[in-house]
Amino acid sequence: MGDVVVCAVYLFQVEPWRDDRESGSMRRARRGSIDMAAPKLSDIAKRAGVSTAAVSIALNKGATTRVSEEKRKLIRGIAEELGYYPNELAKALAEQRTRLLGLVVPLRDPIFFNQFIAQALSGIQSTLMRRGYNLLVFSPSGKPGRATRDQILESRFTDGLILINTRSCTMQDVNDTIEELQAAQIKFAMINSYYGKAPINYVGVDDAAIGAAAAEYLVERGHRRIAFLSGSSTLPAHMHLVKGLRKGLAKHGLELPDDLIGCTQYESERAFAILDGWFRTKRGRPSAIFTADDQLLLHLYDYVEARGMSIPQDVSVLGRGNAHSGNHLRPRPTSLAIPTFRMGELASDLLIDLIEKPGTVPQRVLLPYELIVGTTA
């Protein structure tokens, strides 16, 4: 089992930046000395003429009748004036929670350069900031494709885990990770490429439906010989996209032969070799290509440019990818877009609900894809 490098990424809601000199002088004028100790609940209570308990309720409860709205406004105004900030550690201890969630991304490549993960992480951040949690990122150096046992043990320092399945994850990897997390009684939510029936919090898309929609879209535009450019035949998403493509083509009496399914292993050289094979002769070449994700789309664009071809004149292109990720490409790709930001946002909400409301029933959510019409198909 490989070592685990743990990188803490703390996500806070912060006030706008203020000039330190100005804030220092204001504090000196207000409190007499810049070196005074940080204000406490008792300081606020004394100024407001209420109990410390009333101050705690006013500052920490979203909606309560135990302290009047007028008093709450007074207490919060004094807290802001004194520069009071709540002690997150004390709050966490009182709640018997760390208010930390762990993020596990089984991928050897730097995760923040991956467009899918970056968008999902933005959604996670949005929810965590709204609900007052922080994030701990686990960076694996062990077997790619699954959470390691070390990560699962480390996750006991958090309230729960968010797992993002990547192109390194086989179906067996995903199932093994779920079994180990359930056996360890760790709360978690999963994003992307799980098609099993375990009762877990999961957010993804219906890739079989996306494959069928791709077939329908291309056939409606007159294409009869359609190819599929994918990463690996062992990936769950690949299997379901192929299933959907074949089902959609069969409705029109068409097939997706094995020789028009190309798996590149996400290597540019392999992608070029596969595409050279498809375009070797004019008679057998595909008139349209459906790509499984954004990286494969980029490989296809690179190939077309290198071979002096044109899209859509020489071949039409339909992609499956993250919303707006192809905005910088020309010609602008037509795509079936996945709501990756929303996936991260919703998975975080489901996990926090599970943490804060014991007995919450896990939910499996398949979000709708969006057809973005460009000029490539």
Cis peptide before 312 (omega within 30 of 0): yes
Tokens of 59: 């500052």
In a domain? residue 376: no
Domain count, the chain: 3
- State the burial class of residue 305 (Cβ atoms within 10 Å of its Cβ: 0-12, 13-18, 19+): exposed
Q: Among the three residues 63, 95, 127, which one is the final residue of a domain in this structure?
A: 95
For tokens 């990818």, the residue is: 321
* Residues of the domain holding 171: 4-10+96-204+341-368
Same domain, yes or no: 81 and 126: no
Per-residue pLDDT, 183: 87
Among 364, 308, 298, residue whose Cα is nearest residue 335: 298
- What's the maximum distance between 2 C-alpha atoms anywhere in the chain? 88
**Per-residue pLDDT at 81 exceeds 50:** yes
Per-residue pLDDT, 356: 92
Per-residue pLDDT band for 154 (boundaries 50, 70, 90) equals low
Task: For 286-306, write each residue's pLDDT tens digit.
Answer: 999 999 999 999 999 999 999
In a domain? residue 373: no
Same domain, yes or no: 178 and 118: yes
**Per-residue pLDDT at 26 exceeds 50:** no
Q: Among the three residues 75, 95, 115, which one is the final residue of a domain in this structure?
A: 95
Most confident of 44-48, 78-82, 157-161, 213-217: 213-217
Q: Among the three residues 95, 117, 146, which one is the final residue of a domain in this structure?
A: 95
Same domain, yes or no: 352 and 317: no
In a domain? residue 318: yes
Q: With contact defined as beta carbons under 8 Å apart, do 347 and 341 qualify?
A: no
Same domain, yes or no: 77 and 191: no
In a domain? residue 130: yes
Per-residue pLDDT, 106: 83
d(CA 66, CA 50): 12
Tokens of 82: 């004194």
**Per-residue pLDDT at 3 exceeds 80:** no
Same domain, yes or no: 192 and 272: no
Q: What is the mean pLDDT of residues 257-276?
A: 97
Domain with residue 72: its CATH number is: 1.10.260.40
Same domain, yes or no: 227 and 274: yes
Between these two residues, 283 and 27, which has the higher pLDDT value? Answer: 283
In a domain? residue 15: no
Same domain, yes or no: 110 and 176: yes
In a domain? residue 374: no
Per-residue pLDDT, 314: 97
State which H helix or E strand residue 214 sits in: helix 207-220
Same domain, yes or no: 178 and 253: no
Average pLDDT, the chain: 85
In a domain? residue 162: yes
Q: Could you give the residue ranges of the DSSP H alpha helices within 279-370?
A: 294-306, 340-356
Same domain, yes or no: 197 and 266: no
- Whole-prediction pTM value? 0.75
Same domain, yes or no: 102 and 195: yes
In a domain? residue 377: no
Per-residue pLDDT band for 262 (boundaries 50, 70, 90) equals very high
Tokens of 278: 């498809």
Q: With contact defined as beta carbons under 8 Å apart, do 266 and 231 qualify?
A: yes
Most confident of 51-55, 83-87, 105-109, 267-271: 267-271
d(CA 299, CA 321): 14
Domain with residue 312: its CATH number is: 3.40.50.2300
Per-residue pLDDT, 50: 92
Same domain, yes or no: 74 and 187: no
Q: With contact defined as beta carbons under 8 Å apart, do 316 and 377 qualify?
A: yes
End-to-end Cα distance, the chain: 46
Per-residue pLDDT, 35: 41
Per-residue pLDDT, 151: 62
Same domain, yes or no: 123 and 150: yes
Tokens of 257: 């032969």
